[in-house]
Structure 1
Amino acid sequence: MSKLIFVLLLAALAAGGWWIWQRYSGFADAPLSGLEPGETLVVESGDSFAGVLAKLRAAGVREGEKLEWQVLARQLGAAGKLQVGEYALAPGMTPRQVLLAMRDGKVISHRFTIVEGWNIRELRAALAKASPLEHDTASMTDATLMQALDHAGQHPEGRFLPETYVYTRGDSELDVLKRANGAMETALEAAWSQRAADTPLKSKEEALILASIVEKETGIAEERPQIAGVFARRLKIGMRLQTDPTVIYGMGAAYAGNIRKNDLLVDTPYNTYTRTGLPPTPIAMPGIDALRAAANPAAGDALYFVALGDGSGRHVFTSSLGQHEAAVREYIQRYRQQQRQAQ
């Protein structure tokens, strides 16, 4: 009789174990209910497993007892190893997928793009709106910002490479700017190392300044070497650059979207109509193509260019003042014609 009882007990234990295993397996790989699209969970430094589970509950997860979550975490090697960060909780995820993501640190990535041609004011304004980036530079002047980036005394204009930077929750504006600054230094060094032998530029700094002007003069990639060629030839012969973007930069907040003839006569360090040579600093953030164009301008004899005025953004390049003046007249004629058609 005792042997029969023992067998029955073993059978009951086996059945109970099978039931528990089935329930556990069903929990681990069953889709979680209650999650909404776009739901996230943030694991912070110092969060306990119980605290993370409480955040899951607050996000709408109701499945599983605490013990089931703990057993699954131990099985996956996630117990005590949940990584800090922000995690996506998509509808249909299973407990196994949730814990594996937190164990492996598969955090949500965010992106911030520095646009080619932005100036430092535009860059800082965009950073201030970026979320969930931590805003640690809001109270900094440009000078203290560059000091924080270990470039004390350096002007911030043009120092950050236009590119898309990936960051995660907890990263700050300074984190992104350090990477962008390092990327610009690398790109500038690469462009300068491949510079033309006959370049009139004396340093990487001058290459960066010229690249920023090229960036503001055209959005057409294949025109950048031609634009750079015009300015390089002017620098070689001591001819003033006479480029509107530098004048606009020198006007600062006074620029209201339209440059007048009188503005070209107001002398500032950035007025290349009144001063010979390059301006004292870059005027924008140049991209890699503009850096390469400044270091390796296209050959030719053109000393002038003017917009076609046909909406393409392209330019007409000429080698004499007479040709240039004729191109300007054609531009004005096309512009006026478009104005009449728009009325």
Structure 2
Amino acid sequence: MNSPVFAFTPSSNDNYSFKVTVTDGTSNYEEVVSITADSTDNILRINNDHQMVANTDASLRIQNINGQEPTDISWCMYPNIDNVGFNSVDLTDTNRPLFNAPGVNSDRLISLKASAIFDGQTITDDVHLLVTKEQAIPSKAYFTNSLARVYPYKADSAYANNLVNCTYSNQQVASCNILNELPFISQDSQSDPIDTIMDRVVVSHDWMGQNFETYLRAQTNNDFVELLQSVTAIIISYDIRPSFYSGYIGAIYIDPEYLWLTPTQRDTINETPDYRSNYGEELNYLSPYRYVKDNDYASEYIEKDNRINRTMENMSANFARLMYHELAHANDYYPQSIHATLQA
């Protein structure tokens, strides 16, 4: 796991030990951390501790307890030092607060406590957020909203040094050279074409790259392997919503809501609504649609409070729809027929 914050849900009352390794490029530092888990049914559970960039939108969620919602939920932040506080807090749904992380002068660990009533008792839980200080965004940056920290899924990729700077950085003020720094996938090849694709994947969490690769290898046709030849990179991050394609960069950006397979994976995804959600509020009509297979819904929507795994088959229907849509843009902009004629 490539993060200074590690969150997990113990499966049983037991002792757990973890080894933490930190490297500064020349030296490694290691420490073993041990904890004792003591789980009971009637405790409040907030999903979940994580890292986030200052001034970015984020969300938290309180789990149901034995299928029931706790009541009288309230939230507070601590420590309240140097007037650090959350901006734009939305408590319309107290089970799922939405907020904008505070600006900080240096990386800060900030905690929130939630209190609620369940079965006549007051129960509480704490969640810890590492809010990171990033470089100031240049005035001509391509991305003007603060972005999550991401990294190449394959650290040994030949493009590891360019991937993030060329595709998902607030310091990007000009496009990278598509031929020299980050060429199209079609212009690079390995014996396994999926290995070539995975060399171009950028993620905020390892599971996103793992599920993406598993999905590609599970396909019985090569549609997506072929269509991906016209992109320079695939970025999957918890703060991407909605998915989109950038012709300026030649990359596709994927909302990981399409890729999760376990509740723990889903917990890491930001629930901030798609900014387009209210576009149709003033219109006096609806535009219903559905995707069907064998005269039934092609996939089943799983409510966020229903903490069950999602099958690859259930995930695939919506993800395939997304991939065909975004990759159609990529192949419209840069069809493979012109790749050989491009000049630096």
Query: Taking structure 1 as the reference length, what is the TM-score of the superposition?
Result: 0.22
Query: Which has more helix, going by share of residues?
Result: 1
Q: Which has the larger radius of gyration?
A: 1
Query: Which has more strand, going by share of residues?
Result: 2
